[in-house]
Amino acid sequence: MGTGRKRTQSDYTLAFKQGVVDAVEKGEMTYKQAQRMYGIQGRSTVLVWLRKLGRQDWSTLAMALARHQPAEIGATPMTPEQRIKQLEAELARAKDESLVYKTMLDVLAKEHGVGIVKKPLPEQRKSSKKNRA
């Protein structure tokens, strides 16, 4: 398919797109390998097909990968909606962790008589020489 001219989404048939998506989802090749093998020019074309035509929920997979792998140079930034979903998921995880820690502290205090109290932060001086300058 590499004719040297720039292709558009409409240049590919639905059957071709579905074939590429099926091959990637079966693990026969990565989306980048599919791009090279079939001469697909756009960097995100196969990813768009995967989101539109695929059977997997790529939004949660993408969020999981974003947390564990550094972003690629030149990668498109997340949309505000995607960023909000990511932050909401992180907040929910942090709340769950907090609940686990509080429960552990309660169990330690009630069943083992171990009271763990967080030390208060030292008070800062109200004025310092650096702040006056």
32-84 pLDDT, tens per residue?
898 999 888 888 888 888 888 888 766 665 656 556 554 454 567 788 998 89
Task: Say if residues 1 and 38 touch (Cβ distance below 8 Å).
Answer: yes
Q: How much is the pLDDT for 128? A: 55
Q: Give the whole-angstrom CA distance, residue 107 versus residue 113.
A: 9
| Residue 83 C-beta-side C-alpha neighbours within 13 Å | 5
User: By mean pLDDT, which of 66-75, 106-115, 124-133 is the weakest?
Assistant: 66-75
Task: Say if residues 15 and 21 touch (Cβ distance below 8 Å).
Answer: no
> How buried is 46 (Cβ within 10 angstroms: 0-12 exposed, 13-18 middle, 19+ buried)?
buried
Q: How much is the pLDDT for 129? A: 56
Q: How much is the pLDDT for 26? A: 86
Q: How much is the pLDDT for 11? A: 78
**pLDDT, mean of residues 84-88:** 92
Q: How much is the pLDDT for 93? A: 92
**pLDDT, mean of residues 15-28:** 89
Task: Say if residues 66 and 77 touch (Cβ distance below 8 Å).
Answer: no
**Rounded to the nearest 5°, which phi and psi values hold at 50?**
-60, -45
User: Does the pLDDT value for residue 87 go beyond 70?
Assistant: yes
